[in-house]
Structure 1
Amino acid sequence: MTTDMGAGAGTAEAPPSEPPKSGGASGLLRSGAIMAIGTLASRLTGFLRTALLVAALGTGALADAYNTANTVPFIVYDLLLGGILTAVVVPLIVRARERDETYGARYEQRLFTLAVLGLAVMTTAAVMLGPLFITIYGGGMEGAQRDLAVLFARLFAVQIFFLGVSAFSGAILNTRKRFAAPMWAPVLNNIVICCTAAAFLLLATGKVDPASISDGQVALLAGGTIGGMALQTLALWPSLRGSGFRWRPRLDFRKGELGQIGRMAVWTLSYVLITQVGFAVTTRLANAAGVLGREEGLGDVGYTPYFNAYQLFQLPYAIIGVSVITALLPRMSEHAAAGRMGEVREDFSSGLRLCSTVILPAAGLMGVLASEITVVLFAHGQTTVANAQVIADVLRMFAVALVPFAAYQLMLRVFYSLQDTRTPTFIGVGVVLTNIAMALLSYNLLPTDKIIVGIAGGFAVAQTAGAILGWAILRRRLNGMDGRRVFVSYLKLAVALWPLIGFAYATHAIADAALGAGLASGLLALAVGSAGGGLLYLVFARMMRVEEIGSMLSMVTRRLPGRG
């Protein structure tokens, strides 16, 4: 649940009076191809990491303690710095470079120094406040589970420093049009944690819980988790140096610079604080549901199944959405700085339509094949098929949120490119209040084993509300949103989606009837259903003349051997 992350490389692609020469879906495809591949590798290894951790820790009390504590560094980072990187730093650096390249380089140095000092203070404070974080996010944790969660929270807080330096380095690389390294570096982190989880599996004898875990096992989990983040950070430095960036600590801010950062940052911090309040409520309720589920003999129905479903839900958005957004934000910032609002509108329209060509079919496959996905990934080690089915129930509900979530995230970047961090804060209030209200209703009205499914449904409702409100406001700001073109594209994609859904469901039903629920039927239905359904989707999308599908297929075929 986190937010995103040569001398001439940082210059604008074209002077302010002249629009960039590449735009639209094809330009975004060229900008985002390497990022998408890197993000795909990152997410695939990330799911291998998640699957191994689930096999090693299960989905019960031990996993809840680990996952809740390991979420704390990302919460603190997001709360105090993460939103500023996305909403403030990238647009400000882009505008500083357009003003003067030498001034822009020194401005980067000042911002980087300020970030490093701030991260050191944040990390120290977070280590000391570990018990408070578990009190806030841990729900009904008590006894050995709470003690372990507090210990993990203190240890994992060290990641805040590495996470922040990594994200800031990635932001600087993005402004210099170097997108590959920030997308590939997390692969190293995932590999380290995969090795850590595998070692834990090999060393553990029998079922491990918070009361029986040894000091050596705690040290293994903590060392691997922290070491992976440190390696991810160090991996970015060669690319930074290659881009011409040299860090020389300096705090000689000019008059008005800190004020400009502060004015933008205060609204961003308000937005992040609001979203973290919502996350705190949902996390606490999910953990409380897990405690109730164990007391009622319902199994593991708490935070860890919700967390794992959320990780799966984010995959399509991370592969295509984050790649497109990362490429779009510097470009939209350039267009907005030059007053070319028509091109900002075109950037948004192209980005949304391009994202939707991947996100819509992904949502369809998640909805139909959720059981197969979770059984194949998670039903191993200390996690049973029944545990995996709980994750699948939550994933189906998250699938409903995928399209509005991606649209809402893209709209936020449009506001940031306009240097408007205030409006997203007010929108965020409505989104979070909706999310909290739905989560509280789910906790109080639904059966214990359905609470986390209801919380995921509340997330879907809240993201839809945010997308609708963001669209209405931006429509006035940009003098339109290219709505007709977006609507026609969505209509065509919806028609192309139904053959995919029908084929995937038929495959699911046949495999389940022939082999029963389990790993074999899951693998078969997942492989055949996704491949066959995906092919049908592409065929029908081409028949419907979806422009973005044609662009993607052309790009792929041009890169095949022998195709020039």
Structure 2
Amino acid sequence: MSATATEGVARSSIVMGLGSLVSRITGFARTVVLSGALGATLLGNAYTTAQFFPQMIFELVMGGIFTGIILPLFVKARKNDLDGGDAFTQRMLTLAFVLLGLATVVATLASPVVALTADPGDPREIVTSLSYWMMPALFFYGMAAILGGVLNSRDHFAAPMWVPIINNLVVIAVGVAFWAVFTGAVPFNTADQITPGMIMLLGGGTLAGIVIQVLALLPALKKVHFRWKWRFDFRELPLRKIARMASWTILFVVANQLSVLLVIKLANMAYGSAKDEGFWVPGPIVYNNAYLIMMMVYGIIGVSIVTALMPRMTRAADDRNWGELKEQLAGGTRMMSFLVIPLAVILVALNQPAAYAVFNWGVYLDDQATATGYVLAVAGMALLPFAMSQIQYYAFFAQTDTRMVALINLPVIIFRVAFYLFAFALLPMEWVVVGLFAANGISYVVSVFLTTAILRKRLGLLGMGNILKGQLAMLVAALCGGAVAWLGYTVWPDPLGDKFQQILSSAVLGGAALLVYVVVCMVLRVHEVRDLRSLVRSKLGR
């Protein structure tokens, strides 16, 4: 990829990355507050189980339906229609409103089905009660994704990146209120400690956050001069094409959701296997906390880069300019690798102080933070293959080819499910959650191999040799930084002591690792250092 194109991606990515950074930081704070207020026992696991389904649907809508259908169609309508795509967009919004409304009603009525992933008895009843409150969030998650697509297609990226902050702040306030009213310093280990008021506050507050997020997008739509009019003339839409694309995406979503339900079920079974015997085993909340940290890192970097790349790749694919599509894909992969690799290594090297600094609050106890650290280390190892698999999916989405994404994901999910079952069958219960996350990582590697092979067959050489060469140099630099961080951790006096030491050791050693990484990258002449340095100099007017 040319330096100009790389800097263009970097420029757009950094502008959006600022909003994404604040959004992910507040999302991080949300996770910390809820973990401290609920703990990693009965209530914490029940809340995680109930919210995992709508949250994962959101991630898949954003990564599948949004990227694979909504955004490319909006971009093409904006580019080709005489009215700038307004009528097309109004019809799509009306159709989405109707379909999302129906799907949400069905999903909410099916809340007891989601609760089957919890253990029988009281845990299942608590999950069902929470799900009735939280499942309607599906409608608002979908609308947030579609309205974000309208704004992105009009080159307005700020609001979709910033409004999730409002959602996070609402849920943080809910967690603080829960702590103040209910928690104190008592972990919720039994069902008789959990009241209807707790369920209402947690479920209703979580739903309120996404409702307010959607409402906050409306001023941005007005700013880009888009007016939403109800249009029910759906026959003017390319319904057959949309149905074909959506059918494959729905297959992809359903297959992923089955694997999600399985992993939550296995994590609940691991937790339930030991609770009656008087000792604690990691369950869904530990898995979810590590997953959210990984997604926070990816979201700050990967989502920003992909959001900047996607309109360019879509336009290139629409013009059948495959050279430009490959150039954008290669440059985005290198830029994402440059930013993801050091953070992944730091997560592995500093998994314990990081987990203690983040989660060892309130009723989230020492052994729970220790277990979270182990899962966090595996999440660090899974981060790069996950990021690469995602950006390669977007090359198919740019061609509006959701069919191939679904076909690729079927064997990937089969591998993932098989490794889930192996982990549960072969590992001691206290290591099951670690094994479940390792299964994710293996499936991401499988996905990278499949997507690379198919893209190469379709588009020709992708420049993977240069990408791998660059990634190797980045990995060497990151390992140097990680070694410095790990050695510092081994000699740091009591890095897991009080909260100040936990935060200080994580921040100082992580910062030192990043500094070493940048210096070694400069010595190894990693091009992305030059690109980012040029961008910073241009922003400073030099």
TM-score (norm 1): 0.92
Residue of structure 2 aligned with 1:193, choices 171, 182, 193? 171
Question: 2:539 & 2:84 partners in 1: Cα distance?
Answer: 40
Residues of 1 paired with 2:269 and 2:209: CA distance? 30
1:186 maps to a residue whose letter is P
| Structure 2 counterpart of 1:108 | 89
Separation of aligned partners in 1, 2:59 and 2:98: 16
Q: Name the CA distance, whole Å, in 1 between partners of 2:447 and 2:498.
A: 38
- In structure 1, C-alpha distance between the alignment counterparts of 2:213 and 2:491, rounded to whole Å: 43
The equivalent of 2:534 in structure 1 is 554
Which moved further from structure 2: 337-346 or 391-400? Answer: 391-400
Q: 1:170 aligns with which of 133, 148, 159?
A: 148
Q: What is residue 34 of structure 1 aligned with on the other side?
A: 15
Q: Is the 2:477–2:520 contact (alpha carbons within 8 Å) kept by the matching residues of 1? A: yes
Structure 2 unmatched runs, 5+: none
| 8 A Cα contact 1:76 1:126, kept in partner | no
After superposition, the C-alpha distances for 1:24-48 in whole angstroms (9 at most, x for unaligned) are 2201111112211111101111111
CA drift of 1:179 comes to: 0.9
Query: CA separation in 2, counterparts of 1:78 and 1:265?
Result: 16
Per-residue CA shift, 1:37-80, capped at 9, x if unaligned? 11110111111111110110001110111111112223455678
1:275 aligns with 256
Q: Percent identity?
A: 33
Number of residue equivalences: 539
User: Could you say if the C-alpha distance between residues 516 and 236 of structure 1 is closer, same or farther in structure 2, counting changes exceeding 3 Å?
Assistant: closer
Distance in 2 separating the partners of 1:167 and 1:32: 19
Q: CA deviation at 1:517?
A: 4.8
Matched, 1:92 2:70: no
Unaligned runs of 5+ in 1: 1-19
Instruction: Label 1:210 to 1:232 Cα distance change in 2 as closer, same or farther (>3 A).
Output: farther
Distance 2:2 2:105 in 1: 47
Aligned residue for 1:247, secondary structure, equals coil
Do structure 1's residue 309 and structure 2's residue 290 form an aligned pair?
Answer: yes
CA RMSD of aligned residues (A): 1.9
Match of 1:239 in 2: 220
- Map 1:149-548; keep pairs closer than 5 Å: 149-204=127-182, 205=184, 206-208=186-188, 209-254=190-235, 257-511=238-492, 513-514=493-494, 517-548=497-528
The code of the aligned residue for 1:351 comes to G
Separation (CA, whole Å) in 2 of partners of 1:36 and 1:202: 34
CA distance in 2: counterparts of 1:319 and 1:151, whole angstroms:
33
Q: For the residues of structure 2 that align with 1:93 and 1:327, how far apart are their CA atoms?
A: 15
Q: Which moved more, 1:275-284 or 1:42-51?
A: 275-284
Residue pair 1:370, 1:393 contacting (<8 A) in 2 also:
yes
Contact 1:29-1:552 at 8 Å conserved across structures: yes
Partners of 2:340 and 2:384 within 8 A in 1: yes
Distance 1:496 1:21 in 2: 23
Q: Which whole-Å CA distance do the structure 2 matches of 1:337 and 1:211 have between them?
A: 59
Over residues 434-459 of structure 1, what are the superposed CA-to-partner deviations in whole Å (9 max), with x where a residue is unaligned?
11011100101100000010111111
One-letter amino acid of the counterpart of residue 438, structure 2: G
Contact 2:171 2:205 in 1 (8 A): yes
CA distance in 1: counterparts of 2:496 and 2:372, whole angstroms: 19
1:428-485 deviations in whole A, cap 9, x for unaligned?
Answer: 0111011101110010110000001011111110000000110011011111111222
Code of the aligned partner of 1:197: G
Distance 2:319 2:261 in 1: 40
Write the letter of the residue equivalent to 1:524.
L
Between the aligned partners of 1:79 and 1:424, the Cα distance in structure 2 is 12
Deviation at 1:103, TM superposition (A): 6.3
Instruction: For residue 261 of structure 1, report the CA deviation from its aligned partner.
Output: 0.4
CA distance in 1, matches of 2:496, 2:10: 41
CA distance in 2, matches of 1:21, 1:459: 34
- Partners in 1 of 2:63 and 2:342 — Cα distance? 30
Per the TM alignment, residue 171 of structure 1 is displaced from its structure 2 partner at its CA by: 1.1
- Alpha-carbon separation, structure 1, partners of 2:301 and 2:351: 20
CA–CA distance in structure 1, aligned partners of residues 2 and 474 of structure 2: 28
1:519 Cα deviation after fit? 3.0
Higher mean Cα deviation, 549-558 or 468-477?
549-558
Any conservation in 1 of the 2:340–2:383 contact (CA below 8 Å)?
yes
Cα distance between partner residues in 1 of 2:114 and 2:538: 51
Instruction: Determine if contact 1:316/1:358 at 8 Å carries over to the other structure.
Output: no
Q: Return the letter of the residue paired with 1:523.
A: I
Task: Tell me which amino acid in the other structure corresponds to 1:261.
Answer: I
Deviations 1:253-303 (A, max 9, x none): 346710110111111111111111211211111111111132343314111
Q: Give 2:126's aligned residue.
A: 148
Cα separation, 2, equivalents of 1:281 and 1:207: 26
Q: Aligned-pair distance for 1:251? A: 2.0
Query: Does the CA-based 8 Å contact 2:7-2:531 persist in structure 1?
Result: yes
CA distance in 2, matches of 1:516, 1:108: 53
Secondary structure at the aligned position of 2:363 is classed as coil
* Corresponding residue SS for 1:178: coil
Distance 1:452 1:275 in 2: 18
Cα 1:130/1:514, change in 2 over 3 Å? closer
